[in-house]
Structures are given as structure tokens and as C-alpha cells.
Amino acid sequence: MVLGAGDSVSRRAKALLRPLARRVGLAAPEGAWWELGRRPWVRPRAFRRQPAVCNICHWSGPQFARPYHTEMADCPLCGSIARDRFLLHCFLSRVEYRRGLRVLETSPRMGAGYRELMRRFFDYTASDFDLSAHVGDIRIDLQDIALPSASVDILLTPHVLEHVPDTRRALREIHRVLSEGGRMYLQVPLCYGKTHVPTTPEFHADNTPVFFNFGWDLTEQLEAEGFTVAALVTPQWFDMLNGTIPPARSNGDGFHVEEMLADSRPSFLVKAASNEEAEKYGFQPGYQFVTFECVKR
């Protein structure tokens, strides 16, 4: 704010009061969304007032930009899709915030604004395998991570593990680079009951092949490599998997719900959001959301 000699008294007074007005919510905020000081682990102020709310940038409004789906329901301000919001919600609602937490995220889908936000609050690094589809700070092959042991407190890894040929080798490397009690928040497309290798070549948007379509048995693979595992799910999915509400039926959206119900691991399931959070943040339909929380033993 720069005030010149020619400014009228009322204009100068308004300019001086604007920061205070913003603080108490009487004036629109200014600047890029990631600079607004909104801490993503705090519930957005508009949570009660609006039907759609972004837990990352704190945008709120009548609805998200595309229909409800884990790969859609885009936030019009930061561009997050529903699974981005679920991943961050899982991490920030389960880990007590502390400054200097070393967070590594493999191939984040979101761009510069999100990374700026994360850097404001964490010792944050984004990585990518080949730096082609996503632009990372460093290049990392999960099967051979070029980082010292115990150098990462939190690993966020959304939709990468299915593109890695040797799951076991990757999990061992992840275990090595995590600090004592460090955690991985892992998302893979979980659309089947049991893990299988795709019968026809499968690619996602970034042209890297899919080696595995994971199922619930991934839980045992994670446990076997030295992690204590919780499958974090929406309240709706938790209740369906525990048989306390009627199950959804497969509807052609790619999720084989009947198989997923038959093969689930109820003892690993943890409700990671309230009904209201799932509704407002767009974690719908509930069966499309799972984040594996893997704590290094």
C-alpha cells in the first residue's frame, strides 16, 4: 500500500482500514490464493454457509466445476480435483502440524500455486520420475530413491505406485527414506477387489504404462514391508464396507463395487472425514476414495 500526498483523507482512511476489514471478513482478500495465509489444516470459514468448499485454497460456492467424481469436481480457484482434496485432508487431519516437517510429494497433479502454498508451511519438495508430464523440483525413481535414509517425514504419493514395475522394491525404498515414525499417504486407483496386471496395455494421461490395477490385498503388501496400515475412507464407504448401509452398485464408472465389497479388509478401515466434510469437500461418491496411511514401524 503506497499513499501519496494527493490522496483524499477518506481514501487514505479506507486504505489504512482495509487490512483490518480483511481480517474480520468485511473486505475481499487480495493477492494470489496461496498467499492469503489460509492454513489448509484449518476448516474454511465458509464451511457452514456454502454447499461446496475447497479445503486446500478455501474457495467456496454453490458447486464444483464438474460433476462429483474422484477425478473431477474441480475447484474453480486452485484447480484441485476431489482426490487432491481427499489426500490433503487425510494428511492434515491425521498429522499434527509442525513447522519444518519434511514433506515429499511424488508427481503432484497441481501446479505452481499449490506448491507455493505447501512451501509456505512445510519443508516441501515435489518430485517426478521423468519431469515430462509433471514438473518436479527433483527427479525420483521410487525403485531407487536418490535421497538419504530417514530424510523424509511425510511422503504424499498420489497415483504413482501403479506405474512402478516393482512394487516391493519401491516400498522398501520408501521405508528406507522415511524417518522414524514417518508416514506415507498413498493413493492408487482402487477400482477392483484383488490386484491384477492389466490384460491390455493401459495408460493414464501422462503416457506412462500401468503395471498393476491394485485391489485391497495391497494392504498386506504394505504391512509386509514394515508399515502399519490404515485404509482411510469416506464415512459412506466405511458404512457400506461394514454392511451398515446398503451397498452401491457398479454403474460403469470404472469402479467394480461388488468385487471391492467382497474383498475388503474391514479391520484396516478408518473413517477419515465426517459426513459433512465428505459432502462439502466433494468426496463423492464415497466408494471412489481411499488413501492408505502407512506408518513406518
Residues that bind Zn ion (CB under 5 A): 54, 56-57, 59, 75, 77-78, 80
Smallest distance from Zn ion to CB 113, Å: 9
Angstrom distance (rounded) from CA 12 to CA 5 = 10
Nearest approach in angstroms of CB 64 to Zn ion is: 9
Tell me the residue type at 85.
Answer: R
For residues 121 and 211, which CB has a smaller minimum distance to Zn ion in the complex?
A: 121
Q: Which is nearer to Zn ion, 78 or 231 (CB)?
A: 78
The number of angstroms, rounded, from the C-alpha of 213 to the middle of its chain's C-alpha atoms is 20
Q: Which residue, 82 or 160, is less far from Zn ion as judged by CB? A: 82
CB of 212 to Zn ion, least distance (A): 30
User: Taking the complex as a whole, how short is the minimal distance between the CB of residue 58 and Zn ion, in angstroms?
Assistant: 7
Question: 75 or 101: whose CB is closer to Zn ion?
Answer: 75
Do residues 183 and 294 lie in contact, with contact meaning Cβ atoms separated by under 8 Å? yes
Helix/strand/coil percentages in the chain, nearest 5: 30, 20, 50
Query: Backbone dihedral region of 120: left (phi > 0), alpha (psi from -120 to 50 degrees) or beta?
Result: alpha
State the Cα angle at 215 between 173 and 192, rounded to 5°.
145
Q: What is the dihedral of CA 250, 253, 259, 265, to 10 degrees?
A: -110
CB nearer to Zn ion: pick between 77 and 295? 77
Distance from C-alpha of 46 to C-alpha of 38, rounded to nearest angstrom: 12
| Closer CB to Zn ion, 65 or 77, in the complex | 77
Query: Smallest distance from the beta carbon of 57 to Zn ion, in angstroms?
Result: 3
Beta bridge partners of 61: 52
Nearer to Zn ion among residue 113 and residue 247 (C-beta)? 113
Nearest Cα to Cα of residue 85 among 99, 100, 70 = 70
| Pairwise CA distance, residues 268 & 282, whole Å | 23
